[in-house]
């Protein structure tokens, strides 16, 4: 505001969200998934039964195949018992059927877990205080949530029903080979499995950092694109399209390099795994061929050994993929659960009571606040706002006037002192009940990408159409809306960019009025309005003035000349207070600002 000195208070957000991927996987995060599975215990049990049935059928198939081959080797086709062929087809069908039933049953469990986790994270983010949201990067956080939920899906569907079952199947096959055939076959399987798993673990640990780098690069490029597109007007104002494109391309170059490194390490991992599998298969087949040649095994048993080895290595090869993806998923899940671990700085006390507002009396008692200890914003502020009064707060940039409204709404808690509403300390009541009693019309109005009607109704989603139209008239929006082809169904665009500043501000005022609060806070609410619109809004505010207590953070002094009390802030303290006339007579800061604004108007 011209005429008042001081610098604008600012909060500086960090470049990162502060939720980077940890150096080590937090396996404890898996335990946090358990509560999300408890809803469908019956389905999980049935899925496990289907899993066991599928594995029994899977292990039984090679034995049926062995008998068929031996019959073919010793008899003509006509003498082969048709029962074996039919049994082979039935068992294969049962194997597939049980697998499909298992996936179908567990699919519901996975989808519900994803839904509940995604909802929990979204709800938690909305519960965090303003300080967190000023520092976060929206693109990066949204990617963390998306990758985390997808990671949950992977772990639920693959780890639970593939890793453990694969090792159960391996155990069954090793036991059969050891008991019915040579212990050498069992030893070959055990050595190859240990070598395969050991190599996969070591190589995957080596690859993990490239996965993290790739995710960080992806988050950074996503954050850059979202940030740039949300601020496209600023980009165009300063002709910085090429600059933004170059910065985005630099982020994409980092992503490309990380992807290249990830691909090369994946090649090394796959090559090593393939070598172990090929070597084990070759050794087992050589041993089986030798035993057939010596008469210790039949041709059918040779086929059986080959089928059992393939039975092991097909899921084992898939296990390598599962383990690789599991490591990446664990990093993503850990980042998502890290969001849930972020604690809001503003929290309700245990057993916080509901705020009961009868009159709307506000009292600041020696209120002090600082964003940082070295830079106090409010210094020992004390004042009263009587019920239904209009109190205006003015001052230069950085004087703390907007901070008064933020502490009243409990976006921040005071460093010391207290704020009372109808004699109740707002730090002792629930935030929900406090905020139900207060409507805020901010200086920078941001609207949802929806219709004008929906944006206004957001002030009270239970309001009737007539109530919405009533506040439209009160905010003098009726003529403007009637001039639009789609009237109140007109879409306002992302962040309301299809409307002018004054139009957005009137929508915001209508929305605030619809809430029917006991206290209204106008944070420079008319600063974007032209003189005619401002006059209409002031008339609307005046017509309902006796219905609520109002606190007006003012830039234009002409809008608050009728205030019951004007507080002049200077460097975080109340320098002057009184009515408009009293402050002019005092001939201090307010009078000087009034004179400067009048000169600017003339």
Residue 70 has pLDDT above 70, yes or no: no
Average pLDDT of span 446-458: 81
DSSP 116-128: HHHHHHHHHHHHS
567 near 384, Cβ under 8 Å?
A: no
What's the pLDDT tens digit per position in 369-411? 888 777 888 888 999 989 888 898 988 877 888 888 888 988 8
Q: In angstroms, how far is CA 529 from the centroid of its own chain? A: 35
Q: pLDDT value at position 565? A: 92
* CA distance linking residue 136 with residue 103, whole number of Å: 38
- DSSP-based three-state secondary structure for 206: helix
69 confidence band (pLDDT: 50, 70, 90): low
Q: pLDDT value at position 174? A: 82
Q: What is the largest CA-CA distance in the chain?
A: 121
CATH 3.40.50.300 fits 362-437+517-601, yes or no: yes
160 confidence band (pLDDT: 50, 70, 90): low
Which has the higher per-residue pLDDT, 127 or 287? 287
Could you tell me the CATH superfamily of domain 29-340? ABC transporter type 1, transmembrane domain (1.20.1560.10)
* CA distance linking residue 511 with residue 178, whole number of Å: 77
Which of these ranges, 11-20, 402-411, 450-459, 579-588, has the smallest mean pLDDT? 11-20
Nearest residue to 304 via CA among 10, 68, 104? 68
Over its C-alpha atoms, the chain yields an Rg (Å, rounded) of 35
pLDDT-above-90 percentage for the chain: 2
pTM to 2 decimal places: 0.61
Which has the higher per-residue pLDDT, 84 or 262? 262
Portions of the chain given CATH number 3.40.50.300: 362-437+517-601
Helical residues (DSSP H) of 475-554, grouped into ranges: 478-482, 501-514, 531-543
76 confidence band (pLDDT: 50, 70, 90): low
Mean pLDDT of the chain: 77
329 near 155, Cβ under 8 Å?
A: yes
Q: pLDDT value at position 79? A: 52
Phi-psi region of 355 (alpha: psi -120 to 50; beta: other; left: phi over 0): beta
468 confidence band (pLDDT: 50, 70, 90): confident
Enter the tokens of residue 353. 């009571």
Q: pLDDT value at position 523? A: 82
| Sequence-distant (≥ 6) Cβ neighbours of residue 87 within 8 angstroms | 64
Portions of the chain given CATH number 1.20.1560.10: 29-340
DSSP 412-450: S--SEEEEEETTEEGGGB-HHHHHHTEEEE-SS----SS
Residue 489 has pLDDT above 70, yes or no: yes
15 confidence band (pLDDT: 50, 70, 90): very low
129 confidence band (pLDDT: 50, 70, 90): low
Kindly report the CA angle at 553 between 234 and 551, in degrees rounded to 5? 140
Which has the higher per-residue pLDDT, 495 or 481? 481
Average pLDDT of span 12-33: 48
378 near 404, Cβ under 8 Å?
A: yes
């Amino acid at each position: 505001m011209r005429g008042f000195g001081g610098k604008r208070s600012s909060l500086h957000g960090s470049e990162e969200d502060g939720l980077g991927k940890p150096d080590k996987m937090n396996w404890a995060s898996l335990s946090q998934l358990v509560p999300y599975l408890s809803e469908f215990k019956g389905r999980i049990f049935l899925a496990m039964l289907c899993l066991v049935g599928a594995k029994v059928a899977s292990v039984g198939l090679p034995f049926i195949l062995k008998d068929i081959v031996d019959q073919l080797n010793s008899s003509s086709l006509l003498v082969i018992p048709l029962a074996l062929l039919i049994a082979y087809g039935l068992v294969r069908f049962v194997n597939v059927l049980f697998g499909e039933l298992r996936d179908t049953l567990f699919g519901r469990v996975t989808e519900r877990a994803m839904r509940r986790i995604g909802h929990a994270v979204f709800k938690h983010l909305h519960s965090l205080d303003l300080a967190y949201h000023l520092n976060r990067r929206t693109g990066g956080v949204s990617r963390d949530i998306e990758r985390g939920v997808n990671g949950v899906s992977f772990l639920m569907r693959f780890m639970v029903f593939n890793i453990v079952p694969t090792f159960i199947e391996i155990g069954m096959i090793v036991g059969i080979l050891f008991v019915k055939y040579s212990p050498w076959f069992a030893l070959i399987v055990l050595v190859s499995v240990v070598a395969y798993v050991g190599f996969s673990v070591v190589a995957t640990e080596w690859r993990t950092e490239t996965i993290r780098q790739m995710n960080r690069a992806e988050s950074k490029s996503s954050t850059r694109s979202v940030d740039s597109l949300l601020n496209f007007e600023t980009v165009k104002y300063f002709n910085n399209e090429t600059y933004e494109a170059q910065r985005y391309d630099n982020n994409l170059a980092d992503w490309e390099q990380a992807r290249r490194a990830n691909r090369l390490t994946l090649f090394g991992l796959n090559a090593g795994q393939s070598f172990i599998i090929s070597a084990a298969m070759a050794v087992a087949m050589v041993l089986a061929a030798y035993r057939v040649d010596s008469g210790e095994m039949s041709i059918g048993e040779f086929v059986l050994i080959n089928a059992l080895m393939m039975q092991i290595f097909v899921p084992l090869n898939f296990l390598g993929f599962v383990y690789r993806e599991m490591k990446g998923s664990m990093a993503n899940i850990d980042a998502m659960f890290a969001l849930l671990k972020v604690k809001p700085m503003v929290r309700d006390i245990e057993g916080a009571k509901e705020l009961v507002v009868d009159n709307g009396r506000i009292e600041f008692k020696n209120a002090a606040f600082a964003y940082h200890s070295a830079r106090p914003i409010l210094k020992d502020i004390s004042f009263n706002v009587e019920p239904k009064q209009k109190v205006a707060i003015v001052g230069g940039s950085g004087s703390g006037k907007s901070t008064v409204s933020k502490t009243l709404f409990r976006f921040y808690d005071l460093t010391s002192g207290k704020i009372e509403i109808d004699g109740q300390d707002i730090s002792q009541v629930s935030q929900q009940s406090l905020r139900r009693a207060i409507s805020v019309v901010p200086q920078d109005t941001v609207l949802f990408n929806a219709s004008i009607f929906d944006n206004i109704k957001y002030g009270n989603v239970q309001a009737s159409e007539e109530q919405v139209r009533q506040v439209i008239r009160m905010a003098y929006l009726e003529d403007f809306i009637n001039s639009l082809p789609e009237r109140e169904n007109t879409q306002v665009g992302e962040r309301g960019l299809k409307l002018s500043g004054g139009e957005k501000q009137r929508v915001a005022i209508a929305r605030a009025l619809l809430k029917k609060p006991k206290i209204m806070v106008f944070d420079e609410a008319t600063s974007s309005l032209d003189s005619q619109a401002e006059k209409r809004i002031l008339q609307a505010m005046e017509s309902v003035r006796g219905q609520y207590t109002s606190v007006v953070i003012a830039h234009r002094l002409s809008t608050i000349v009728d205030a019951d009390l004007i507080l002049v802030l200077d460097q975080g303290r109340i320098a002057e207070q009184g009515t408009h006339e009293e402050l002019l007579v005092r001939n201090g800061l307010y009078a000087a600002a009034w004179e400067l604004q009048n000169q600017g108007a003339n």
